[in-house]
Structures are given as C-alpha cells and as structure tokens.
Amino acid sequence: MENENQTPHKRRVHYKGKYPKKFEEKYKELQPEKYKDTIAHVIQKGNTPAGMHISIMVKEILDFLQIKPGQTGFDATLGYGGHTKAMLEQLQGQGHIHATDVDPVESAKTKKRLAEQGFGEDILTVHLQNFCTIDEIAKEVGGFDFILADLGVSSMQIDNPERGFSFKVDGPLDLRLNQEAGISAAERLDTISRDELAGMLYENSDEPHCEELAKAITDEIRKGHRVDTTTKLRRIIENTLDFLPEKDKKETIKKTCQRTFQALRIDVNREFEVLYEFMEKLPGALKPGGRVTILTFHSGEDKLVKRALKEGYRAGIYSEYAKDVVRPSAQECAQNGRARSTKMRWAVRSQ
C-alpha cells in the first residue's frame, strides 16, 4: 500500500500558451542557458525576456572607453552584467573591474553567472554597496582607467512583481533597489504631506497632473486606506484622470503611471542625491586621461550629469566632454523598447 505521508509530486507550472503573462510562469525565459531558442524569439520580437536585461548601447560605450588589457575599470551598476561582461572581454584576462550594486539578490545571481563564463574574482570584484562610494574603492586600487555608470533600473527588477516597480502587474508597492534597507514606497506614502508629494511628482518626473494626484493619494491615506500595492496606486491614478477626453485617456494614464512610479522610485532610493555625490567624486576616481561614460534615462538625471561635466570641463578637470548626447540607433530602439529614452554622455579626465 502506498505511503499516505509521501509528499505528492509537485508538477512544474505549465508554459501556458505561446506567451504566458505571469512572471513565474515564464520558466523558459527565466532559464536563458537552457532555452536559448525561446530567448532568441522573445528578443527578435522586440521584447525583453523575463528575468533578463538587454544591455543598451554596448558598441558606443566600448568605442568610447577604448579599454586595453591591463587596465582597471569601474562599473557603477552591475545589474544583469551585460555591460560588465563586454568590458571584461576587452581586458583579455589582464586587468580588473570593480562593480557596485545595492541589490543583494540580483548581484549574487550575476556574480555567479559571470564566474561560470570565466570571469571570476581574479578579474572581477563585486561590491555590495552604492556607487557613490566610488571614492573609497578608487583609493584602494589607485584610480580607474575607465568608468561606466548605467543609471537605468534593470529589467529583472521591473519585471518581477514582488519588487513593485511596474504598474502593469499587481504586487507590493515597494520600489527599493535593496529591499533590506530603507523604507518602501508604501511606507513613504503613509506619512507624506500633499505639498511634498506634489513637489516630488513634479521634480522627479515632470508630472503635469502632480497637484490632482497628490490630493487624491493623500486623501485616500487620510481616510485610512493604505496605498500599499501597485494596483491600488494605478486605480487612484485612473480615477483621478477620469475627466480626460476619451481619445487621450488611455495613453495619458499610462504615461502618468510611468512618471508616478518613477518619481517614487527616485525618492525611496535617493537617486538624485546618490548621483550628485557620484558626480562630485568622479574626477578624483579617474586616472589622468581616464574615460567615463554615463547612461541616463530621464531629464532630471541628464541635466545633473550635463551640468557636472560642463562645470568640470570649464574648471580644467576634463579635457573633453560630450556637448551633445549620443542616442541609441533606430535599429536598437526597435529591438529593445527600453532603449528609447537613453542618453549617453562622456568625458575624458585631463592629463
């Protein structure tokens, strides 16, 4: 007779239909090494596979950085490791890259993945800390020949509903890059004033409906209804913008959701403060003649980077800097929709 206490065999979730919608059902996309055909097909359709991140402007970055074997480099945001891997390959086994990331979950996965591809601790050191600590690492290693700062949030974080980065799927309203530190976006909204929230939405994402949204969100919280899930926040936005003409409503709501989530993400992760600190410390971390490229994804970041590089050039800190932004090609934007808002700026440290 069969043992009644035997643990029943748990079947894996079926890959429902051609394109399953739920993140956890996309097990083929979440195992890129095993299901290469599926990954290739998803990318070919102009989409990013679940749990993966497609690196942006790799050729343009490498063309500018001119990495040579034996050099020391810094990758400010390790993420999925696509840029890191491309730069490591340029070193040809000689030299070293130091990379920072505040996400303990994704950085551990990336470190393991890169080690399996031959890039171990002899050539790559991953620091679980914020990239604004670049001065501490530079002091230890004697400065950097090349630096990359890709300021975008990785697709792995956006796509995973448990992280709360996307308004498209239900999940906790978290938005922290490191869920072990700081407070979530939901906790931030618990105590925020109407004026402060309106200011945040305007300053962090140029939201035109910032006043109406701030009133609606804080009114809801004052009634004792916590805004603690992505769906609750999206519904408040939808209800607030219900007055819009029908032909404009859908697109405006989508863009307002994107801007609202972006503004909260910037706030809970202190992204502007961190970037400002990084730009201040950047010249001291670069060796004479060292090169830096920075990818930004919204106007607030780009203005801050542009101003810092321009001031550095005028002060003689940089011998050259990007007076105009470099944009991804039309072909790259067609293959990767998340590349469309990217702007690349660069500078060369004076000798």
Range(s) within the chain of domains with CATH label 1.10.150.170: 163-271
Q: Are 97 and 73 in contact (CB under 8 A)?
A: yes
Rounded CA-CA distance 211/217 in Å is 10
The answer to whether the annotation marks 82 as part of a ligand binding site is: yes
Rounded CA-CA distance 122/115 in Å is 10
Rounded CA-CA distance 194/229 in Å is 19
The answer to whether the annotation marks 101 as part of a ligand binding site is: yes
Pick from 102, 236, 120, 128: nearest CA to 173 = 236
Residue-wise pLDDT tens digits, 196-241: 999 999 999 999 999 999 999 999 999 999 999 999 999 999 999 9
Three-class DSSP category at 277? helix
Residue-wise pLDDT tens digits, 265-310: 999 999 999 999 999 999 999 999 999 999 998 888 899 999 999 9
Q: Are 52 and 32 in contact (CB under 8 A)?
A: yes
pLDDT band at 340 (very low <50, low <70, confident <90, very high): confident
Q: Looking at residue 10, what is its pLDDT? A: 47
DSSP letters, 254-275, are HHHHHHHHHHHHHHHTTHHHHH
Residue-wise pLDDT tens digits, 17-50: 455 555 445 445 455 556 556 545 554 554 544 4
The answer to whether the annotation marks 81 as part of a ligand binding site is: yes
The answer to whether the annotation marks 157 as part of a ligand binding site is: yes
Range(s) within the chain of domains with CATH label 3.40.50.150: 58-155+272-349
Rounded CA-CA distance 128/102 in Å is 5
The answer to whether the annotation marks 131 as part of a ligand binding site is: yes
Q: Which CATH superfamily is domain 58-155+272-349 in?
A: Vaccinia Virus protein VP39 (3.40.50.150)
Residue-wise pLDDT tens digits, 119-167: 999 999 999 999 999 999 999 999 999 999 998 765 555 555 566 556 6
Pick from 9, 33, 29: nearest CA to 21 = 29
The answer to whether the annotation marks 90 as part of a ligand binding site is: no
The answer to whether the annotation marks 145 as part of a ligand binding site is: no
User: Is the model's pLDDT at 173 over the cut of 60?
Assistant: yes
DSSP letters, 69-127, are TT-EEEES--TTSHHHHHHHHHHTTSSEEEEE-S-HHHHHHHHHHHHHTT--TTTEEEE
Q: Looking at residue 44, what is its pLDDT? A: 54
Q: Tell me how crowded residue 192 is: count the other CB atoms within 10 A of its CB.
A: 19
Q: Which CATH number fits domain 163-271: 2.30.30.100, 1.10.150.170, 3.20.20.105, 1.25.60.10?
A: 1.10.150.170
What global pTM score does this model have? 0.78
C-alpha torsion 315→64→307→323, nearest 10: 90
